[in-house]
Amino acid sequence: MTKLTGKKALVTGASRGIGAAIAKGLAEAGADVALTFFNSPAEAEATLGAIRDFGVHGEAIRADAGDGTAVRHAVALAHERLGGLDILVNNAGIFKRRPLQETTDEEFDRVMAVNVRGAYIAIKAAVPLMGKGGRIINMSSTFGARVPATGIGLYATSKFAVAGMTRAFARDLASHGITVNAIQPGPIATDMNPDDSRHARLMTMMTALGRYGEPEDVASMAVFLAGDETAFITGATFNVDGGFET
């Protein structure tokens, strides 16, 4: 696959899991890829090596997605090191499971800073650097459309916000020739949501396909949305969930 040859992409929070799969998928399709990481330098280096193995330019940039200054710097640095910016994937996110009565204001602020504010700042920083045909892909969640369990209020709230922000910014950026879409993964086997956790059996039963997905399933959708053939798709949300929302 070389459909993204010549394109320049930034994927936030891409040292492992879904983000790493997306970064590698974009590289396999021919794009030069910069990734951000924060707490996982060894994993980021491994992902960077996999990106470069596809014969494209790869960069790893340390940045806390909850720090606006760091996010702006990462976007600017990716643009400088790659020689342009065509694709932004806002993947960085954190998950907190805690009953409402046990949550703190500080936890709320941190989840919103990483999951919502970080994406907002990255988009604002990227738009002036993107030309017509730019692609912005935000990672929401099926929990941003449906809340099937207790204790996920902070995460669900943030992902509802990402889905709404996607639709709103698709309107704002249409005149720039930039599309904005969202992916909502369901049960995907990652460190954040392992398929052997105590909740996995219930989650599996709630999917139509009766199994967890893999990070590469989400990456395939991201690569599709990054391509030229999706020029008339914007403000849309795509579930990659094995029928979790069916």
Which residues does the annotation mark as catalytic? 155
C-alpha distance from residue 24 to each of 9, 44, 92 (Å)? 11, 12, 16
DSSP type of residue 15 = S
Q: Which residues pair with 9 in a beta bridge?
A: 33, 87
- Dist CA 190 CA 206 (whole Å): 18
- Dist CA 137 CA 89 (whole Å): 5
User: For residues 170 and 179, is the Cβ–Cβ distance under 8 A?
Assistant: yes
What is the β-pairing status of strands 32-37 and 8-11? parallel
